[in-house]
Amino acid sequence: MRSTRPGRARSESARLAIMHAAVRLLPELGFSGLTIERIASEAGVGKQTIYRWWPSKSAILAECVLEGLTPGFSPVVANSGDLEADLTEWLAVLQTALDEPGFRSLMRGMVVAAVEDDALRSALYENLALPSEPLLVERLEEARTSGQLRGSASPRVLAESLVGAVLYRLLATAADQSVRVDDLVELVAQPRR
């Protein structure tokens, strides 16, 4: 995603150096420790170069994600015919990813970017969430048809609730930031007979 901010044209080598520096520093420093000053120093550019093209560190990270410079992550719920097992596996994969400090920091940066900038929010949603969201809803609709879905809430609302619970845990500041996989699965899936 190219920045739409006014200013001089970007030097492609400086742009890439800045984005690669941000990606290298993030696992070491975390989102809160990552600063424009550190990124500029690591990239060998001035802070003014960064601010000419990006309004914040979260905007840099969002562009890194959108350009594929960070590991992509869009797990899809399997369809083994057993909703409880499929959701447990999906949520466990999400938790494993969130246990990685670099990934957790990156996701926090994406949340900040989405709050700061509507255009980035739309781009992140369209490129990251939108491709897998219908698959989760479809899996839950199939579970409803086969009698494996608990309650009467719509599959779309349940999908949004599951993702929302994961995001909540991502942003939690409590010592235990783990996704409560078994509890979430129990809310959605009928118990196995």
Domains in the chain, start-ordered, CATH in brackets? 12-66 (1.10.10.60), 83-188 (1.10.357.10)
86-101 pLDDT tens trace: 999 988 888 888 888 7
Beta bridge partners of 149: 189
Given a cut of 80, whether residue 193 has pLDDT beyond it is: no
Distance CA 167, CA 125 (A): 14
Q: Quickly state the pLDDT bin for 4 (edges 50, 70, 90).
A: very low
For 22, 60, 163, the CA distances from 110, given in Å and listed in that order, are 13, 10, 15
Distance CA 141, CA 159 (A): 10
pTM given for the model: 0.75
Distance CA 179, CA 90 (A): 11
The 8-class DSSP code of residue 127 comes to I
The two tokens of residue 55 are 């309004």
105-159 pLDDT tens trace: 888 888 888 899 898 889 888 887 877 889 899 999 999 999 999 988 899 999 9
Given a cut of 90, whether residue 176 has pLDDT beyond it is: no
